[in-house]
Amino acid sequence: MTNPVFFADSQDLSGLDAGDVFELGGAEGHHAATVKRIAAGEPVDLVDGSGLRLVCSVVQSGAGMLLLQIDRRIEEPQPAPRLVLVQALAKDGRDELAIETATELGVDAVIPWQADRSIVRWRPERLEKSMAKWQKTIQAAAKQARRARIPELHGLLDSAGLVRHTASAEATRLVVLHEDAAAGLAAQLADWREARQLLLVVGPEGGMSDRELALFDAAGADRWRLGQHVLRSSTAGPAALAVLGEALARW
């Protein structure tokens, strides 16, 4: 069984190596010692969210803290290409379910997308709160999946902003997941193995508008189809990540 994971600041972990001792306090220390009741002698992993993993043994468990001895230091590289989920805002929490599952399946970054047909709207006065909720969802899923890297959360984009973002990023391909696409996802993957990033665009409940599809086509986007059935907004992104995880030998 893999070790439970706890997060710590990268500055606090950067100089540590095998044989060093580290005290995990704060919210994570409280969760480990008081909620999870992790005891002396048990193994845990400390991660910084950016690829550093310290495999540790608990020396002492106290009130809201763990004293840890570091057994091994591991630097987990950033996978290539980066897989970015462009998730349309969706009602009934389907967008949050999508990013939660995508994080468990290995997504590298998430972009919230205000699509034309999104019923949910992030108003300026609630933008910060909405972003914080998505960040919390991603971090909790990364911890549950015991990842050393927390997926990056980009700011909210509309369709024109998404096209500009794609154009400004080097070796980035825009991939629209759409039921009317002729090409299957896995069959087209060989064409994009040199890309540094694949942006997987998932529409809202009502689908993408003709205006958006024309905008993406003009930007050189590809359309990929996952299968013969229409998937929900909460399902399409994770399904694509599962296919790509296998095809790219991540799994």
Query: What is the mean predicted confidence (pLDDT) over 69-91?
Result: 95
Query: What is the mean predicted confidence (pLDDT) over 15-40?
Result: 94
Residue 222, pLDDT > 80, answer: yes
Residue 190, pLDDT > 90, answer: no
Dihedral sign of CA atoms 246, 142, 149, 64 in order: negative
pLDDT number for residue 35 = 92
Write out the DSSP string of 30-61: HIIIIIS---TT-EEEEE-BBSEEEEEEEEEE
Mean pLDDT, the chain, whole residue set: 92
Question: Confidence class of residue 247 from pLDDT cuts 50, 70 and 90?
Answer: confident
pLDDT number for residue 172 = 87
Question: Confidence class of residue 191 from pLDDT cuts 50, 70 and 90?
Answer: low
pLDDT number for residue 50 = 96
Confidence (pTM): 0.92
